[in-house]
Amino acid sequence: GSCGEGKVFTEEQEALVIKSWSVMKKNAADLAFKFFLKIFEIAPSAQKMFPFLRDSKVPLEQNPKLKPHALNVFTLTCETAVQLRKGGIAAAKETTIKRLGATHLKYDVLDEHFEVTKFALLETIKEGIPEMWSVEMKGAWAEAYDQLVSAIKAEMKP
Ligand code: HEM
């Protein structure tokens, strides 16, 4: 690939991500929500980073602002999988990635947060589509996520 990562994202991997995402899309909001609760279960301290959680009296599970971020991680990872086949994270997305780099730098998102989030994402997919789950499926989503995160991290410069 031309992602500078030396890793190739195969046609099969792309197909797996697209196929599973088209199924999960039907209850994406619900899955995305579970995904974020999982992150905070593993790393409760991560809640402190989100301003709308820090200052909120609403219980975590009822916070309406949690869903958009969770959905964003899902959809952007899926979109990344498609773009990787086209030769890397597309130029059209450059501004998005730059903005994401700036945002996550500002909120002090660290390597370990990206790691916990990866674990939670894969667990959520596993539970969301048990009949489609496989080592290959896991590998495909993991790779797309890793590529997206490395692009974001590359823009997380002060
Ligand atoms: C904000 C995406 C990982 C914490 C955002 C926003 C997007 C986004 C789209 C909205 C603001 C903007 O567009 O600049 C992603 C993606 C991720 C990722 C695609 C991984 C592939 C993480 C992780 C954490 C995190 C691992 C910490 C556990 C935050 C915080 C904000 C934010 C605190 C600001 C508050 C908010 O707007 O929700 N992220 N994010 N993000 N993200 Fe992420």
Answer yes or no: is pLDDT of 4 > 50. Answer: no
120-132, pLDDT tens digit by residue? Answer: 999 999 999 999 9
pLDDT at 131: 97
CB of 89 shorter than 6 A to ligand 1: no
Answer yes or no: is pLDDT of 66 > 60. Answer: yes
The pTM of this model reads 0.91
Closest-CA residue, ligand 1 atom 5, reads 69
16-33, pLDDT tens digit by residue? Answer: 999 999 999 898 888 988
CB of 49 shorter than 6 A to ligand 1: yes
- The lowest-confidence range among 33-37, 78-82, 143-147, 151-155 is 78-82
Answer yes or no: is pLDDT of 56 > 90. Answer: no
- Ligand 1 atom closest to the CA of 100, numbered from 1: 14
Q: What whole-number distance in Å separates Cα of residue 134 and Cα of residue 127?
A: 12
Q: Could you tell me which residues come within 8 angstroms of residue 33 by beta carbon, excluding any fewer than 6 positions away?
A: 66, 67, 70
Q: Which residue has the higher pLDDT, 1 or 115?
A: 115
ipTM of the complex: 0.96
pLDDT at 91: 56
pLDDT at 2: 45
pLDDT > 90: percent of the chain: 54
If one counts every other C-beta atom within 10 angstroms of the C-beta of residue 118, the result is 18
- Ligand 1 atom closest to the CA of 46, numbered from 1: 28
CB of 31 shorter than 6 A to ligand 1: no
Q: What whole-number distance in Å separates Cα of residue 73 and Cα of residue 60?
A: 18
Query: 71 alpha carbon to ligand 1 midpoint, in Å?
Result: 10
